Amino acid sequence: MNKDIDSLVLICNSLHKSYVSADTLLPILQGINLEVGLGETVSIVGSSGSGKSTLLHVLAGLDRPTSGEIILDGHVLSGLNDDQVCALRNKKLGFIYQFHHLLPEFTAYENVVMPLLIGGNVSPGNKDFARHILERLGLAKRLLHYPAQLSGGERQRVAIARAVINNPKLIFADEPTGNLDNHTGSQVLEIFFELQKELKTSLVIVTHDPAIAALTKYRYRLKEGSLYSE
């Protein structure tokens, strides 16, 4: 993309990731290069098994690359230990997955403030922001409901609120509506992209659906371990 480096939230240079299975080296990612600017939306499309989730996990520091460099908001991940990467993720990143991964023993509101508790960043202002985000997502009457008491679309909206509660620089979304019907998925995506624009948060979304990819400014295809601009 050749963007101003000061405007970049994520830089990925020559990223490789391989796994060993039965004494055989399996290359998954081969020389990935990617830049994501402030407030930009990026989609990565690929078929099942193409390595989309692996790429997302490596970019987010959930897994280490075999080789290559990842710079997140000015921090070189290879220069950080696991605890430092975790702290950086909590402060700078938000995550939305196909399955909401809400904690069943906690209410919708408690699930949203969980990242604040983990990061030691609970304050009256942040608690108010949690309520505001849930209300913004149409969940004003669901704050004290547990995940089992919510519909699929409501649970995913709680997951979105949790992803943005720390006002992250970047959100990673892995097939965020893949577990929802088309109508509910469209509603969730519409609300999510409105919220992303309001908060000016960067977004990297991986999906198999070209219609979802069309909602982003930059679009890529992951094929045979390489990333191609579309």
Average pLDDT score over the chain: 85
pTM score, whole prediction:
0.84
Residue-range domains of the chain with CATH: 39-64+81-229 (3.40.50.300)
Q: What is residue 4's predicted lDDT score, i.e. its pLDDT?
A: 58
Q: What is residue 203's predicted lDDT score, i.e. its pLDDT?
A: 92
pLDDT at 145 over 90: yes
Task: Show the DSSP H helices in the chain as ranges.
Answer: 52-59, 82-92, 108-118, 124-136, 152-164, 182-199, 210-213
Cβ(44)–Cβ(33) under 8 Å? no
pLDDT at 166 over 60: yes
> If phi over 0 gives left and psi between -120 and 50 gives alpha, with beta otherwise, what is residue 103?
beta
pLDDT in tens, 71-83: 998 899 988 998 8
Report the Cα–Cα distance between both ends of the chain, in Å, rounded: 12
pLDDT at 162 over 80: yes
| Cα–Cα distance list, 183 to 49, 137, 186 (Å) | 26, 16, 5
Q: What is residue 71's predicted lDDT score, i.e. its pLDDT?
A: 93
Q: What is the DSSP string of 134-158?
A: HHHTT-TT-TT--GGGS-HHHHHHH
Residues of the chain with pLDDT > 70, as a percent, come to 95
Cβ(39)–Cβ(202) under 8 Å? yes
pLDDT in tens, 15-71: 999 888 777 888 889 899 999 998 999 999 987 777 888 898 899 888 899 999 999
Q: What is residue 192's predicted lDDT score, i.e. its pLDDT?
A: 82
Q: What is residue 224's predicted lDDT score, i.e. its pLDDT?
A: 85
Name the strand (E) or helix (H) holding 49: none
pLDDT in tens, 174-197: 887 777 778 877 877 888 888 888
Q: What is residue 198's predicted lDDT score, i.e. its pLDDT?
A: 84
Q: What is residue 100's predicted lDDT score, i.e. its pLDDT?
A: 73
pLDDT at 1 over 60: no
pLDDT in tens, 88-110: 888 888 888 877 788 999 999 99
pLDDT at 225 over 70: yes
Q: What is residue 157's predicted lDDT score, i.e. its pLDDT?
A: 85
Copy the structure tokens of residue 218: 């930059």
Q: What is residue 123's predicted lDDT score, i.e. its pLDDT?
A: 67
